[in-house]
Every structure is written in structure tokens, then in C-alpha cells.
Chains A and B, each alone.
Chain A
Amino acid sequence: MAEFAVAAPVTTLSPRRRRRRPMISAIQWLSLALVALFIVVPFYTTVLGGFKGIGELRTNPFGLPAEWDVSNFMGIILGPTLFRSLLNSLLIALCTVVLSILLASMTAFAFAHIRFFGSKFLMSFLLLGLLFPSATAILPLFIKMRDLGLLDKHLGIIIVQVAFSLSFSILLFHNFFKQLPKELVDAARMDNCGYLRIYWYVTLPLSLPIIATVGVFNFVGSWNSFLLPLIALNSDANYTWPLGIMQFQGEYGSDWPKILAYLTLTIIPAVIFFLAAQRYIISGLTGGAVKG
């Protein structure tokens, strides 16, 4: 009884306890709700629109469909293009991720642990890519890919995406490697372990968080990319999903229920992936941004 009497005021009044409750005023809640509505409504109407008839889009824009018509979805799922383009995108993204993790971590390891003449300069040079978006170089890139026979090949997309991902990936890996205890590498050196073995057996196994971050980041970038595939790929069989959906949209003009169904089917995997991987994305953003 006495214990309770003492404990009660402590739990309600201690600053630690009070900080738990979000300090959000009514006006803030209201504006948050409005922003949430602004974000949700386009998604909501897109997903529902695929189940509606074209006429119903006009008469019943916000409500649930009168009848859940799945024919649009079935037509697209059973058709050849959606899964082929999703698979192409997946293949390109996975290869990009693996290559950029490997190359960037190797290079960042060298900059973090091996002292050599010109290392500072070389590192700055490789980070120059942070300044130049690939869009600025897209035209000469097209010529270069053509001259090297890389047009209309997934390999071409992968190589160019890896090249443009290097700067940011090297930066993230370098920041991470610098934070690992230096003693680990030193001890391994004492034991006559070569740098390559240290990289592979000591540093990489300790770097799973940053590998995940870099991987997720490059995956999303590759999955969503449009301009590069647009100029480099020209046969339907090689199309990535953004090209596929633009082609589909071109074919069906303003048959919106069909287009919305196609959109929904491409958004679903992205949303699932996002929910699973968002903390890596956020740590990449903030880690790269704050230290960049």
C-alpha cells in the first residue's frame, strides 16, 4: 500500500514518463491528418479503380466498386508482358546490387586501410560522381553504349548503373569501415594475413548492416530507373517494368481501369519490399546525408 502510494506519483510525473507521450497539438494532428489524406487518396483510388468499370470511375470515384471486377487484373496477369518485364527488372536490379556491393566495398576497403600515395586524391575523384546525375551524361552514354555494343542488352544497363552507383556506395562503405575497430585489421596484419584475406574474412562479415543498406538503396534505384532503359533498350522482350507500363498505357490510351490495374500490380511488390526494407533505406539516407 505504502509502496503503491509512493510509486504512483513517480510514474506519472517523472520527466522520462512524460516524454513518452507525443507532444503534438490539435493543430498539428489536424494538419497531419490532411497530409495523410493527400498521400492516401491517390493510392486508394488507383487500387480501387482497377476493379471498376470505366463508367463507374465517373459516377463513383471514391466509393468501393459496386461489383469487384477482376477481369482487368486477370487479363494482365495472364498476359505475357507484366511478368516478363518484372523479371527483367528484377534480374537487372539484382546484378546491379551484387556488382556494386562487391566493387564499392573493395575500393572503400583499400581507401580505409591501405596507405598509398594519392589515395586522398583518388578517393575525391571517385566521389565526384555524387555531383553529376546520370541524366546529364545520358546522350554521350548512349553513344558509348552503342559503340561498345551494349545497346538493347541487360548487361549494358547493369554496367552503367553500377558505374553511377559507385560514388555513393563507396562513400557509405568508407564511412562504415572507418568506424570498425582498427585493431581488428592491425591484429590480422600482425598475423601475416594479407589485405585481400582481411577484406574477405574480417571486414566483409562485419559489414552486413552496410551491405544491406547499400544493396537496398541500389536495388530501389535500379528497379525504378527509367531514362537509361528508355534510351538503351528497344525490343519488347528486354523491357523493364517502367517501359512495359508506359507501352501498356500507350496502347490502352484512356481505358483507365486497365491501366490502374496494371499500375496496382506493379506497385504491390514495391510496397511490400519497401515495408520490409525501409529501415535500411532510411539509414542509408541519413548515414550518407549526414556524413556526406
Chain B
Amino acid sequence: MDRNSLVPLLILIPPSLILFVVFVVLPMVDAATYSFFSWTGYGPITDFVGFDNYADVITHRNFGTSVRNSLIVVAASLLIQLPLAMWVSVALSETGRIVSWMRTLFFLPYMLAEIAAGLIWKFVYDGNYGLVPQIGDALGTKLPFLLADKLWVIPAIMLVIVWKYFGFHMMIYIAGLQSIPSEVIEAARLDGVKKWQIVWHIKLPMIWPSIVISVFFAITGALQLFDMIIPLTNGGPSNSSHTIVSFLYAFGILRMKIGFGAAVSVLLCIACVIVALVYRRVLFAKENE
């Protein structure tokens, strides 16, 4: 490092670094600290309780439900959303006017605020004025109030998630598919390889990095799902549709149980780190092949 670069470094880096440390890193450290204390958010933090907060979280009767819901969302993302995105992207990676309109249309819900998407679907599902009861009438049956039914609420939310996010994954796949050199596809076609064999044996392996990325986003996105839960169900009926973050909000923040909420934060954070580590290893392994 020469002397000329010292002053620029001191101007270029510290602003970002300070903001990042104060508002991203320190809150994480704070969360870890708070999680070992019983604290209402006011006055000194003195009441050390060891792992009691963690015990309270894990034995809380709604925590299991919220973890289960978050895992269901992860599974649904991987099993429904990503295959749908892949199926659609194979067609929409072609060129053409209708194709490009459809790409824009399918991507649109991803750009929409979660709050707006949640309210739109709250209307669609509304038992009195929404579309679902009308569809039920047309079919000659009475459909349940989906968002007020413990059995149906999670599948109903999953449908909204697919609606909202599959376009995002589709875009990632399309970018991958379009970056495959056309000579490769052309050569295979000239050799008489069938279209779906090309997709399965050439295109899919070649966009493997895109798939890894989209799986990562699907998992971390599902783990932090919150915004849409509030307008759709607010965690109901009887706390059956909480995700981890909405559980944190409802039982930690709203009740100002700081230690309890911090313990949830730390657990969620650990989950994210594990996902990230696994993800790095998967990507790394593939790169080394």
C-alpha cells in the first residue's frame, strides 16, 4: 500500500463499514446477548437467565407450528414452484413477441409489494365477496373459507407464494437457458436428439448454477416469509399459519419480550447460516468437478 492510497481508503471505506457494523452486525451480536437475559426493553439488562429463553421458545405451543409452516413453504417452493418455473422457462427462453409479453407478465407479481399481493389474495379467498366462493357456487358446492380453515390455510398461502415468486425463479432460469451457446443445441438437433432429451440432458445440466442459486433464494426467502402473512391471515386462524418471522413479530416484538424474541432471531439466524454453508459447499463441489 503506497502512501497515496491511505487518504482515499479512509474516505471510501469507513462510511459503508460503520453503517454496516452499527446496523447489521451489532444487532446480530445484540440479539445473541439479549437471548440470555429476561428483559422488557427498558432499564438495565441484568436478569441473566441462561438458556431459559431458548427453552421457552422451543416449548412454546405455536413455535412448532411456525417452524413446520416455514418448512412446508420451503418444501412447496422446491417441489411446486421451481418445477413450474422450469417448465415455463423452457418455453419462454425462446424468442418472440408473445413470449416476451408473457415473461413480463409472469415476472410482474414478483415486483409487486408483498402487502399488495397479500391483500389481493385475501380478496380472492374472501368467503363472502371473493372469487373462491363464486367458483364454488359455479361448481355447485360450498367451498370453505380457505383462510379461516386450519386445514386449508397453508395450502392457500402456498398458492399465493407460487403466484408471487415463481416468475423470479423463471427469470433466473431463462437467463441461464439463454446463455447456453446455440451451437450446442443446434449440434444436438442435427444429430437427431429429441427436444425433451435436449432439455433433460443438455439444458438442465448446463444451467445447474442457476438452479443452485434459485434453490438458495427459495429457501432463504421461505425462512423469512412475513409480509404476506400479515394481510392474508395475521397468523390465524388461532395462530395456525404463523411463519418463523411472524411468530417472532407476534410473540416477541408485539409483547416486548425481548429475550424471547432474540432467541427466535438467533435460531433463525443459525438456520440461515446452515443453509448458506450447505449452499457454498454444493456450489463449490460443482465448480471443482
Which residue numbers of A lie inside 8 Å of B, CB to CB? 15, 19-25, 28-29, 31-32, 35-36, 38-43, 45-46, 49, 54, 57-58, 61-62, 103-104, 106-107, 109-110, 114-117, 122, 126, 128-129, 131-144, 159-160, 162-164, 166-167, 170, 194-196, 199, 220, 223-224, 226-227, 231, 242, 245-246, 249, 254, 256, 259-260, 263, 266-267, 270-271, 274-275, 278, 281-282, 285-286, 289-290, 292
Contacts and interface: CB of A to CB of B under 8 A. Distances in A.
A43 B120 contact: yes
A32 B129 contact: no
Contact of B9 (A114, A126, A144): A114
A19 B181 CA distance: 13
Contacts of A270: 111-113, 116
Contacts of A274: 108, 111
B31 interface: yes
Q: Which 9 A-B pairs have the closest CB atoms?
A: A22-B94, A163-B23, A140-B30, A195-B8, A224-B113, A286-B175, A140-B27, A137-B27, A110-B12
A292 B8 CA distance: 27
B129 A256 contact: yes
Chain B, interface size: which category?
A: 35 or more
B5 A292 contact: no
A167 B23 CA distance: 12
B123 A256 contact: yes
B213 A290 contact: yes
A140 B31 contact: yes
B24 to A, nearest CB: 5
B92 A289 contact: no
Contacts of A25: 195
B87 to A, nearest CB: 7
B143 interface: no
A22 B96 contact: yes
Interface of B: 1, 4-5, 8-9, 11-13, 15-17, 19-20, 22-28, 30-31, 34, 41, 84, 87-88, 90-92, 94-96, 99, 102, 104-109, 111-116, 119-121, 123-124, 126, 128-129, 131, 134, 163, 167-168, 171-172, 175-176, 182, 186, 195, 209-210, 213-214, 217, 220, 223-224, 226-227, 230-231, 245, 248-249, 252-253, 258, 261-262, 265, 268-269, 272-273, 276
Contact of A42 (B9, B15, B102, B120): B120
Q: From DSSP, what is the main secondary structure of chain A's interface residues?
A: helix
B16 A137 contact: no
A126 B20 contact: yes
A286 B30 contact: no
A199 B26 CA distance: 30
Contacts of A227: 226-227, 245, 249
A289 B22 CA distance: 27
Given A20-B95, A42-B163, A116-B1, A285 B115 contact: no
Contacts of B30: 140, 143-144
A290 B175 CA distance: 9
A107 B26 contact: no
Contacts of B265: 136-140
A110 B94 contact: no
B115 A256 contact: no
A28 B129 contact: no
A282 to B, nearest CB: 6
A226 B91 contact: no
Nearest to A164: B24
A226 B109 contact: no
B106 A39 contact: yes
Contacts of A24: 91, 94, 99
A117 B265 CA distance: 34
Nearest to A111: B13
A260 B217 CA distance: 31
A106 B265 CA distance: 31
Given A139-B262, A163-B23, A292 B276 contact: no
A195 B24 contact: no
B19 A159 contact: yes
A138 B258 CA distance: 11
Contacts of A20: 95
A141 B22 CA distance: 9
A106 B186 contact: no
Contact of A139 (B90, B111, B261): B261
Contacts of A107: 12-13, 15-17
Contact of B31 (A133, A136, A286): A136
A106 B104 contact: no
A138 B22 contact: no
A69 to B, nearest CB: 15
Given A32-B102, A115-B1, A139 B248 contact: yes
Contacts of A35: 84, 88, 106
A142 B253 contact: yes
